[in-house]
Structure 1
Amino acid sequence: MTHHDWTALLTAATDDFARITGEVDPVAAVPACPGWTVADLVDHLGGVHQWARHAVVAGNPDGKPAPLTGDPARWYAGHARALVDALAEPSAPAWTFGTEQTVAWWLRRQTHETLMHTRDLLDAAGRVDEWLIDPELAWDGVREVATEFYPRQVRLGRTEPVPGTLRLVATDLEVDPVVVGDALPEVEVRAPATDVLLMLWHRTVSDDPAAAALLALPIAP
């Protein structure tokens, strides 16, 4: 299993998002987020960064993010830098909503959040083909959905347990399958790691109707 340098990955991801924000029309529609403009997307991600920073600094989930003001790229970059600075000690304890109560958990979570929304941002600009992610990093995102988000979604009552079992197989990596659910029928999804990740986050749809039906559920938020 690859060891990811989450600090470097988050720094690069947020730098890219800030740069691309400065290149995209803030009123452009975001196809992956119906009803949102680019400005709404930037406001969302900057707000998520503020909330995560508060969770680490204050030790609780009660942060109230400040809304977007002024130049979107500059506003976002400031909050992204503040987040990265707050996550400087990966091994330090931190409040999280997941299985691990450390700063490292947030580094991973915010990296995946930023990468997915960078794809949304590029899609709004008609440049989605520019979005590239390492397959092993994408597969880590798949594991994150299965072990962090899906259990939380069920626990919070946001979705019922999957009425079947999704067996997710990366065709471009030699890794163990990721399993979501424990009921019948079992449905296997075989695709490149990045495509599996995009299916889980509802950015693409499986060609298999049985798989598509299960993947359409709010397994991730």
Structure 2
Amino acid sequence: MSINALAIIQQEADRLAAVLGATDPAQQVPTCPDWTAADLLWHLTEVHEFWAEILASRATTEEEVTAIDEAKAPRPMEQEELLARREAATDALLAQLAARKDEESAWFWFSQEQTVGITRRMQTHEATIHRVDAELTAGQPITPISPEMAAAGLDHVLRVMWPAGYEWIPDWASTKPVAVIEIRPGDGTPQLLGISRWSGTRTRDGQAFDAPVGRLLEKPADAEGLPRATVSGSAISLNLWAWGRAQVLDHLANAPGPVEIHGDPEAMAQLEALIAEGHD
């Protein structure tokens, strides 16, 4: 990829840590209301530790990944210890990414992407979005995201984050197409997003489920007859919106403009439900 992933991960992770290190650990994260500032710092720390170990161990199976997750060290209670552990975790992740090529095999939670490259891409966006969370939590100005990085982040949601949801639909559930969304980046190519809902009742406990999933449509014919809406905006605006961070747009200097959504009310409701699934 043309984006310097290692530099971005380093820069964004360091910025997040510096901001949160000077923030009340109990401060609520507006974009992730169940988290405090300390929770956000820990999240990035354990994410970097987890993926560093996956790459270092050359894990490729679910069993290997489960063992890695179960063996992780407990969360530190003291802020200074957590800050030091975050720094070590980021260093370990960057060392592994620097030593591996994108085309090498590595476990990832989306079956269509099982290489080191997808981890590299995922972690650039993970660090960037959570840096935005940190600055918002601290009440500090939001550092701009470059148009190139924003376009890549939007593409990652459309091609990886949302489609992966189809792989988590249980065998006992049924899936029904419910809406089509045309996404129009002001500085990119329009794309059609199909939204479906999966639903059913789990046999072992009778619990009912009903949730949205989305993925890009391969053929325009797949969009026929469904409620339709259009989403438009700059790559920066759409990136933050797709990652569930539309509220951040109000805090950006030289704001890139709002995300505009028009169309069938049912399609817009299904889209709102998909966004609400979240990308913590």
TM-score scaled by structure 2? 0.69
The 1:207–1:188 alpha-carbon spacing in structure 2 relative to 1, beyond 3 Å, is closer
How far residue 93 of structure 1 moved from its aligned partner, in angstroms, is 2.5
Which residue type is aligned with residue 138 of structure 1?
A: A
* Rounded Cα–Cα distance in structure 2 between residues aligned with 1:123 and 1:80: 22
Which residue type is aligned with residue 186 of structure 1?
A: R
Equivalent pair of 2:240/2:246 in contact (CA under 8 Å): yes
Correspondence for 1:154: 166
* Rounded Cα–Cα distance in structure 2 between residues aligned with 1:191 and 1:110: 24
Correspondence for 2:53: 54
* Rounded Cα–Cα distance in structure 1 between residues aligned with 2:176 and 2:240: 20
Which residue type is aligned with residue 130 of structure 1?
A: I
Per the alignment, in what secondary structure is the counterpart of residue 163 of structure 1?
strand
The 1:140–1:161 alpha-carbon spacing in structure 2 relative to 1, beyond 3 Å, is farther
Does residue 90 (structure 1) correspond to residue 101 (structure 2)? The answer is yes
Give 5+ residue unaligned stretches, structure 2.
195-216, 218-222, 248-258
Equivalent pair of 1:202/1:215 in contact (CA under 8 Å): no
Does residue 124 (structure 1) correspond to residue 124 (structure 2)? The answer is no
Correspondence for 1:66: 73
The 1:67–1:41 alpha-carbon spacing in structure 2 relative to 1, beyond 3 Å, is farther
Correspondence for 2:236: 194
Correspondence for 2:125: 112
Correspondence for 2:273: 216
Report the identity percentage: 29
* Rounded Cα–Cα distance in structure 1 between residues aligned with 2:117 and 2:148: 18
* Rounded Cα–Cα distance in structure 1 between residues aligned with 2:176 and 2:12: 32
Equivalent pair of 1:153/1:220 in contact (CA under 8 Å): no
Per the alignment, in what secondary structure is the counterpart of residue 190 of structure 1?
strand
How far residue 118 of structure 1 moved from its aligned partner, in angstroms, is 0.8
Tell me the matched-pair count. 217
The 1:105–1:161 alpha-carbon spacing in structure 2 relative to 1, beyond 3 Å, is farther
The 1:5–1:45 alpha-carbon spacing in structure 2 relative to 1, beyond 3 Å, is same
* Rounded Cα–Cα distance in structure 2 between residues aligned with 1:161 and 1:6: 37
Per the alignment, in what secondary structure is the counterpart of residue 21 of structure 1?
helix
Q: Please give the root-mean-square deviation of Cα atoms over the aligned residues, in Å.
A: 2.5
How far residue 67 of structure 1 moved from its aligned partner, in angstroms, is 3.8
Q: Once structures 1 and 2 are overlaid, which stretch shifts more, 2-11 or 159-168? A: 159-168
Per the alignment, in what secondary structure is the counterpart of residue 35 of structure 1?
strand
Correspondence for 2:8: 9
Hey, which of these two has a bigger chunk of strand by percent? 2
**Deviation by residue 1:153-174 (Cα, 9 ceiling, x = unmatched):** 1220299666212222222x2x
Equivalent pair of 2:229/2:261 in contact (CA under 8 Å): no
Equivalent pair of 1:149/1:220 in contact (CA under 8 Å): no
The 1:20–1:61 alpha-carbon spacing in structure 2 relative to 1, beyond 3 Å, is same
Give 5+ residue unaligned stretches, structure 1.
none
Bigger radius of gyration: 2
TM-score scaled by structure 1? 0.86
**Deviation by residue 1:61-116 (Cα, 9 ceiling, x = unmatched):** 22224343132322211111111112122333211223332222111101101111
Per the alignment, in what secondary structure is the counterpart of residue 107 of structure 2?
coil
